[in-house]
Amino acid sequence: MGVKIAIAADHAGFDFKTAIKQFLTEKGFELIDFGAHSSDSVDYPDVTHPLANEVLSGNSTLGILICGSGNGVCMTANKHQGIRAALCWNKDLGELARLHNDANVLCLPARFIDLATAKAICEVFLNTAFEGGRHANRVHKINC
């Protein structure tokens, strides 16, 4: 596959991030890890901003962010013009975020879903293309 994916998590998402990295590497994705690198407390903006910049630069195609609720990383990532971060807790939301909203960053709530669900969401998110069509005009209106 050779697709580069940026990934980051705070301390609450560290274990999920570690397992998801292995899972996606086995699927052929290349991962760039922006931390955290342990379960020691870290402020989620400190890992989110570098990941958002990586996706905006085009060096990574998509990003995955993980924190306890998914909300902190999602709100932080969406402060960046051009980032469309989506908080997803099931496969359908992961698919629709790409299909209809052209989301470029997936946010996962580690404290509210299990690891199998997180992996399934990642897989569908990374393998779904933006549908375009009637959705393209809407997506172009997102940035302020």
Catalytic residues: 67, 100
CA distance 66 to 34: 11
Closest CA to 5 of 89, 27, 95: 27
CA distance 3 to 31: 8
DSSP-derived 3-state class of residue 37: coil
